[in-house]
A and B are shown apart, each in its own frame.
With several copies, the nearest count.
Chain A
Amino acid sequence: MKLITAIIRENVLDRVREKLLAAEIYRITVTRVSGRGQQMSEEIYRGQRVVPGLNPKMRLDIACNDEFVEPCVNAILEGARTDGGRVGDGKILITPLEDIIRIRTGERGGKAI
């Protein structure tokens, strides 16, 4: 089991979710985060262009069984890449997951996902 964490643009969330649903990945947790990479997104403040230290991003966390990792990554790549790839599109992180427990039933492991 893996935990897939993706940091994506705020506005591609809907598209990514569609792709994930198409890949039969239904469960997801989303967090509002702020991030800094190479992207410079200007705002205007009283006649001055300012570059905020951090840009708003969305973080997706998806726990999935090993066989779902590649479909999931691909779905995210498809949904989150803008115009063939632009700075700011974000990252996907994959971490090992030792166990997962469904609170409702107490089931554990792969079938709890």
Chain B
Amino acid sequence: MIGRCALGCGVALGTVLFLGASSALAAGGSPEAVTVDSGATAWMLTSTALVLLMVPGLAMFYGGLVRSKNVIGTMMHSFTAMGIMGVLWVTISYAMCFGDGVLGGWFGWNPDYVLLRGIDDTIMPDFHIPEYVFAMFQGKFAIITPALIAGAFAERVRFRSYCIFIAVWGLLVYNPLCHWVWAADGFLFKMGAIDFAGGTVVHISSGISGLVAALYLGARRGYPASAMHPNNLVMTLMGAGLLWVGWFGFNAGSSVQSGLATAQALTATQAAAAAGALMWILLEGWHQGKATALGFASGILAGLVAVTPAAGVVRPGGAMALGAIAACVCYGAILLKNRLGYDDSLDAFGVHGVGGTVGAILLVFFMRDGFSTHQFVVQLQAAGVAMAYAAVLTLVIVIVVDKVFGLRASAEAEMAGLDHVYHGERGYGLLNAN
């Protein structure tokens, strides 16, 4: 029923099944009794917590980069995703992602999954973990993806409209994509597209959606004439640290086990992040003569994003190569953005869209099993489909939300700052004598 990580899990899955079988036999139980693998469950629970940790991590990363007057508003973009997508996921999104395909496979549906009612005591026979854990782990991806988009149009959206936007986007963009790529009857899954932990579903989709929304909304007032300085690079660094840590859950958890495949994914993740970060500051040193902290953090992200689809199929050397290449391409993409002059505020497209695409396509050259032209074509197709679908749907949603509720912040709100206007708060009371 669930196809996630079918490619990366061969060996270790076998081990688990074998172990499961042996215990079952040894105990003389009926073959149908599905036992819980407490170790795999432990790691999946941990991974769920780690991926959740990425959300405050992202809030800190993004929050540090905007101007002081928008820090609360920007962090709330991440936080509210925990609330909105959190509630939607339990209510209907899990059913839409992992139910059986309906409407020609546009998305899934399984009435039993509404409010997760039908899985209250299900142990997944393939993974030997309670299905709840799988559902919660997956739910975290549905939370972080719209939060990533927010970076593209930071500092200039209405809070209420943003909330509506991500809810609709989650239902109409994320859920179908997730179904196509990770459900066993998803068409990209059946095509054999490799997306270990969400290169297409999470990064390409959020990056391209951010780009579309940013282009539609137009630049922030004063961009690019006046420089917009990060209010708190220190917090951005902290956030980058939490993102790296959390990504171990993101990628290694996507093996849905606690075994060899998990270890391979974790190793690839670590190697790519380190290589991406190092490459970025080397580039900066060569190009600008200085290595910046934001550059290091961006390199971490570029590396992690690129290895996300690939973590299950590349060796550490390949992961390092992917990370380093992604750092270079993202660096270039951001320079290009500066040339073109559109305002992707925090480079959601420049890092996630570009890095995700690099990873999804170039992974074919570093696969443990060797290059395959067929796979290359499949990857191109999958990335293309995701891009096209996300771009078109996002445009429609953005236009509708804008017409109905007004998506762009008013000029006055933008000048006064989102924190005061939409939240009635200020981030740093400490600055003010009171």
Contacts and interface: CB of A to CB of B under 8 A. Distances in A.
Indicate whether A and B are direct neighbours in the complex (CB within 8 Å): yes
Interface string A32-52: 111000000111111111111
A43 B415 CA distance: 17
Contacts of A53: 226-227, 434
B346 to A, nearest CB: 9
A71 interface: no
B229 A32 contact: no
Interface stretch (B126-134, B282-290, B357-365): B282-290
Contacts of A46: 292, 294-295, 298, 334, 347
Given A44-B288, A49-B288, A50-B227, A32 B431 contact: yes
A14 interface: yes
A41 B434 CA distance: 14
A49 B287 CA distance: 11
A30 B294 contact: no
B154 to A, nearest CB: 14
B229 A43 contact: yes
Given A44-B288, A47-B331, A48-B338, A11 B416 contact: yes
Contacts of B335: 47-48
B112 interface: no
Interface residues of A, number: 26
Q: How large is the interface on B (under 10, 10 to 19, 20 to 34, 35 or more residues)?
A: 20 to 34
Interface string A8-33: 00111110000000000000001111
A58 interface: yes
B122 to A, nearest CB: 40
A54 B429 CA distance: 11
B432 A45 contact: no
Contacts of A58: 433
A61 to B, nearest CB: 12
Given A32-B433, A44-B292, A47-B335, A52 B227 contact: yes
A13 to B, nearest CB: 7
B31 interface: no
Contact of A54 (B417, B424, B434): B434
A14 B338 CA distance: 22
A48 B331 CA distance: 10
Contacts of B417: 10-11
A30 B295 CA distance: 29
Contacts of A47: 283-284, 287-288, 295, 331, 334-335, 338
Contacts of A32: 431-433
A52 B434 contact: yes
B426 interface: yes
Contacts of B295: 44, 46-47
A33 B431 CA distance: 9
Interface of B: 69, 222, 226-227, 229-230, 283-284, 287-288, 290, 292, 294-295, 298, 331, 334-335, 338, 347, 415-417, 420, 423-426, 431-434
Given A11-B417, A44-B292, A54-B434, 11 more contacts: A30-B433, A32-B433, A33-B433, A34-B432, A44-B423, A44-B424, A47-B295, A47-B338, A49-B424, A50-B227, A50-B229
Q: Which 6 A-B pairs have the closest CB atoms?
A: A44-B424, A50-B227, A11-B415, A30-B433, A34-B433, A11-B416
